[in-house]
Structures are given as C-alpha cells and as structure tokens.
Amino acid sequence: MPELTELLDRWRHMPAESLVNAKVAAAVLSLSERSIRYHEKLPRVYLGKSRYAFRVADIRKLLSGEGYGPRLSFAALPLFSKLAPTSGPNIRTFGSAS
C-alpha cells in the first residue's frame, strides 16, 4: 500500500469510484479515524467480513457540503463575524439588558 503522503498527493486525481481506507479519509476530512468510522453521512464499503473502505465520491460530497447546506469553515468565521450586524432591531449582545 502506498504511503499516506502519496495517497494525499494523488487525492485530486483519484476517480470518484476509488476506495480509500479510514486513515486517508481522516486526513482529507481533518477528523480522527474514529470519527470517520462512525460518521453517519459517510457509508462504509465492505471488502470482507471485517474490512471496509470509503468511496472517494462520498468523501468529496461531504467536503462540498452537499446535504448539509452551505459549507462554512472555521477559518471563515472571523470574516463572517465582522460582516454580521452589531446593532439594530432584534440584535441582542451578551450581557445586554432587555
């Protein structure tokens, strides 16, 4: 089996029907292997009685945010907090009385 770094380098060029193990899926999604194993939106493809893999297409679908609404990364949150209104009707801030 190729090294993890080789598989990550090839990720962009992998066909949608390719299968990857939990370690690669975890690295691509920035989650732990345990989170990948029990993720409700990431179906397993069983290769044997106790061996399984994940479809590249399913991982890409999860990355794109399909089925979850718009995808926001944690890196974008400071940007959106600057764009959010800070005053006006129906805006309540922490510690304000009303």
Say yes or no: domain 4-83 is CATH 1.10.3470. Answer: no
Per-residue pLDDT tens over the stretch 4-56 = 888 788 888 889 999 998 988 988 888 899 988 888 888 999 999 989 999 99
Of 10, 22, 24, nearest in space to 46 by CA: 22
Is pLDDT of 65 > 50?
A: yes
* Three-state SS at 49: coil
Q: Which amino acid, 38?
A: Y
Strand partners, 52: 46
- List the domain boundaries for the chain: 4-83
The encoded tokens of residue 76 equal: 């974008």
Give the burial string for 80-98 (b: 16+ CB within 10 Å, else e). eeeeeeeeeeeeeeeeeee
